[in-house]
């Protein structure tokens, strides 16, 4: 298994055995993959979550609306802006307000930088899971640094930002941000070209991922695949287009899809989506309207219920919020993309032959995040 630790092997009848992989950070994450196999062919996969459940949804019932952003962001530390955006979008719909246009553009820049930060990590782990080249993980780790620097310049933090708030954003773009962002875009676009040449289109990576873990288009829809895992199966669904928010409706970009439906396609979608993110950031910087970046909002939110969604790095993230008119939510329920994507691998042995050595690249082509699934 290479970098994945086999913690328990249990013999079964018929020459089969049950192999328990993990939990081991970061590869199997805060969870366990239980595989039934004869040593080569996989007959059943069970993903066991629940090792890091923190009760975020319940915590939110005891936090003021603004205070709730911080525990919400702990769901996915690599992609906190999207989690915050979904929650804030729900609050704004209950309040019946929209953030100022300039705030919407700044939100879009932050969201796309966060997508890049998340995708680079996901792609590094996918490379590691194929045991292809450890250098790729080092590349992706180093190459996201310019965007972490920009996040720190804008928000004061490198990971959890609490920057997107009801009514807008906490602050305007600081002096020099646009110029530094342009430099980061140019640098990273060149790095993506290198990824394609040296890694994605490399024969050694292709033989580990081509025709491995194929999720046909109809099954991707039936099983509830989300985000790049869905679009890699040829489904052109992206909440940024299908239900626009922030400044996405005013910007020109296309939904990235692949047709091969396999582990390679899921990796390729993420690389190509980062090209799109760079274009979106550049457009937002060039077309940024003038004006305020925040509206004053009341502490109490009117009675009502709403479901708001965003296209996070892992797919559609939905937040259902019920307000009873107080200064804190009555109920919050989160529909997390990782909860859906993690379990796609459980269904695959039912429709195709999977080999034991293919479990890592299949699993990490889905970009799982156990804390997102557990909440």
Please give the pLDDT value at position 3.
Answer: 42
Distance, in Å, from the CA atom of 347 to the CA atom of 128, rounded to the nearest integer, reads: 23
Give tens-digit pLDDT for 148-203.
Answer: 999 999 999 888 889 999 999 999 999 999 999 999 999 999 999 988 888 888 88
Q: Which band of pLDDT confidence, cut at 50, 70 and 90, is reported for residue 8?
A: low
Q: Which band of pLDDT confidence, cut at 50, 70 and 90, is reported for residue 28?
A: low
Q: Pick the residue with more confidence: 129 or 83?
A: 83
Residues 6+ apart with CB under 8 A from 222: none
Please give the pLDDT value at position 5.
Answer: 46
CB 71 within 8 A of CB 60: yes
Sheet architecture: strand order including 304-312: 304-312, 315-323, 331-335
Please give the pLDDT value at position 204.
Answer: 84
Quote the Cα angle for 262-263-265, to 5°: 65
What does the mean pLDDT of the chain come to?
89
CB 136 within 8 A of CB 199: yes
Give tens-digit pLDDT for 268-293.
Answer: 999 999 999 999 999 999 999 999 99
Can you list the alpha helix ranges (DSSP code H) found in 174-316?
177-195, 203-209, 217-223, 228-231, 239-242, 263-286
Nearest to 83 by CA among 114, 121, 54, 104: 114
Give tens-digit pLDDT for 32-87.
Answer: 888 888 888 889 988 888 777 888 989 999 999 999 999 898 888 889 999 999 99
Between the CA of residue 33 and those of 7, 131, 184, 237, what are the distances in Å? 10, 18, 38, 29
Please give the pLDDT value at position 251.
Answer: 96
Please give the pLDDT value at position 6.
Answer: 47
Consecutive H or E run containing 57: helix 56-59
CB 301 within 8 A of CB 91: yes
Q: Pick the residue with more confidence: 302 or 32?
A: 302
Share of the chain above pLDDT 90, in %: 56
Distance, in Å, from the CA atom of 274 to the CA atom of 187, rounded to the nearest integer, reads: 13
Please give the pLDDT value at position 1.
Answer: 38
**Average pLDDT, integer, range 340-362:** 88
**Average pLDDT, integer, range 207-211:** 89
**Average pLDDT, integer, range 91-102:** 95
**Average pLDDT, integer, range 2-23:** 64
**Average pLDDT, integer, range 326-346:** 90
Please give the pLDDT value at position 332.
Answer: 94
Residues 6+ apart with CB under 8 A from 284: 105, 106, 108, 109, 112, 247, 251
Q: Which band of pLDDT confidence, cut at 50, 70 and 90, is reported for residue 116?
A: very high
Please give the distance of CA 345 from its chain centroid, rounded to a whole number: 17
pLDDT for residue 27 is more than 70: no
Give tens-digit pLDDT for 131-153.
Answer: 766 778 888 889 999 999 999 99
pLDDT for residue 264 is more than 70: yes
Strand-strand pairing, 304-312 and 315-323: antiparallel
Structure tokens, 151 = 């996040």
Distance, in Å, from the CA atom of 194 to the CA atom of 220, rounded to the nearest integer, reads: 30
CB-based burial of residue 103 (10 Å sphere; 0-12 exposed, 13-18 middle, 19+ buried)? Answer: buried
List of domains in the chain: 56-374 (1.10.645.10)
**Average pLDDT, integer, range 328-335:** 93
Please give the pLDDT value at position 25.
Answer: 67
Neighbour tally for 374: CB within 10 Å? 21
Distance, in Å, from the CA atom of 330 to the CA atom of 321, rounded to the nearest integer, reads: 8
* Polymer length in residues for the chain: 375
**Average pLDDT, integer, range 121-129:** 87
């Amino acid at each position: 298994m290479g970098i994945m630790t086999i913690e328990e092997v249990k013999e079964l009848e018929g020459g089969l055995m049950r192999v328990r992989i993990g939990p081991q950070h970061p590869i199997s994450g805060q969870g366990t993959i239980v595989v039934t196999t004869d040593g080569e062919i996989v007959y059943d996969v069970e993903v066991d979550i629940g090792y890091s459940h923190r009760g975020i949804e319940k915590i939110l019932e005891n936090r003021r609306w603004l205070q709730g952003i911080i525990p919400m962001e702990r769901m996915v530390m690599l992609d906190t802006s999207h989690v915050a955006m979904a929650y804030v979008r729900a609050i704004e719909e209950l309040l019946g307000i929209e953030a100022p246009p300039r705030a919407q553009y700044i939100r879009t820049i932050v969201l796309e930088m966060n997508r890049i930060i998340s995708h680079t990590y996901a792609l590094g782990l996918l490379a590691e899971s194929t045991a292809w080249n450890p250098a790729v993980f080092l590349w992706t780790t180093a190459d996201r640094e310019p965007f972490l620097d920009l996040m720190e310049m804008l928000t004061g933090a490198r990971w959890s930002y609490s920057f997107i708030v009801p009514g807008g954003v906490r602050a305007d773009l600081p002096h020099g941000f646009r110029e530094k962002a342009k430099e980061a875009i140019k640098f990273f676009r060149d790095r993506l070209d290198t990824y394609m040449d040296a890694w994605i289109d490399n024969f050694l990576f292709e033989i580990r991922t081509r025709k491995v873990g194929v999720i046909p288009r109809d099954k991707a829809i039936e099983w509830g695949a989300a985000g790049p895992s869905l679009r890699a199966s040829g489904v052109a669904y992206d909440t940024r287009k299908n239900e626009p928010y922030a400044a996405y409706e005013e910007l020109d970009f296309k939904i990235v899809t692949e047709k091969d439906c396999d582990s390679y396609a899921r990796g390729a979608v993420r690389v190509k989506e980062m090209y799109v993110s760079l274009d979106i950031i550049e457009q937002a910087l060039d077309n940024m309207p003038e004006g305020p970046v925040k509206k004053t909002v009341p502490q109490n939110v009117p009675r009502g219920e709403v479901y708001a969604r965003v296209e996070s790095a892992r797919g559609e993230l939905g937040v259902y919020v019920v307000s009873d008119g107080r200064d804190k939510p009555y109920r919050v329920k989160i529909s997390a993309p990782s909860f859906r994507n993690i379990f796609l691998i459980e269904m695959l042995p039912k429709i195709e032959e999977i080999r034991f050595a293919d479990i890592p690249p299949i699993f990490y082509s889905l970009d799982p995040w156990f804390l997102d699934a557990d909440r």
